[in-house]
Copies of this chain bind each other. A is one copy, B any other.
Amino acid sequence: MLARLMDLFRNAGFDGASLSDISASTGLGRSSLYHHFPKGKEEIALQVLAHLEDQLEESLFEPMRSSGTPEQKLARMLDTVDRFYDGGKKACLLERLCASVDARRFRRPLHRAFMTWIDAVESLGVEAGIPPASARHRAEDLVVRIEGALVVCAGTGDTSVFARTIRDLRDSVLAPVSRG
């Protein structure tokens, strides 16, 4: 159910998703929704966001801390990301919630989600022997490029930019430091 809601918010954003949409996508009537989420739409979005954080932890971050070489773990992470965004065809919930009126409501979980992601990639870089400062910058860059590629693909309708971005990241994130 939270999965279906996440799809909805990814497609429509917070402002674009109406209670009617939410009702249709869950099969629950208005009253049932307010039974489960007494504080209404904002609470629904926050729970969906919390669900995404759990999902990221389980499918992205936890595998990055388990066994394997940093290269293998990076490759697995990018595979998961590629599948999650369907090769650039699906939007990012984090980005969609950043772009909503009064995004301050979501700032704390959004900040946490981005930071956890960046931290995980940074650790991977450090594990691979990259100097901490460079590892940090590259980790930020990975998230920046994935989010940016999703925006450009959504705007142009061309997913090749996302595919190429993922491919580039595969090689560049853990490459030996020569130019940073």
A24 within 8 A of B: no
Within 8 A of B (CB), among A125-159: 137, 140-141, 143-149, 151-152, 154-157
A98 contacts B155, CB within 8 Å? yes
In the bound complex, residues from chain B placing their C-beta under 8 Å from that of A149 are 144, 148
Contact mask A8-21 → B, CB, 8 Å, 1/0?
A: 00001101100000
**Residues on B with beta carbons closer than 8 Å to the beta carbon of A111:** 155-157
Partner of A15, one of B16, B154, B171: B16
The chain B residue with its CB closest to the CB of A154 is: B98
Q: How far is the CA of A91 from the CA of B100 in the complex (A)?
A: 11
- A143 to chain B: which residues have CB within 8 Å? 148, 152
Q: Which residues of B contact A145 (CB under 8 A)?
A: 141, 144-145, 148
- Number of copies of this protein chain within its complex: 2
Shortest CB distance A105–B (Å): 13
Chain B, Cβ-Cβ closest to A162: B144
Of the candidates A12, A15, A151, the one having the most CB atoms from chain B within 10 angstroms of its own CB is A151
Judge whether A172 is part of the interface by a CB distance below 8 angstroms.
Answer: yes
Residues of B within 8 A of A144 (CB): 145, 148-149, 151-152, 161, 165
Complex interface: chain B residues within 8 A of A155 (CB): 94-95, 98, 103, 107, 110-111, 113-114
Contact A180 B152 (CB under 8 A): no
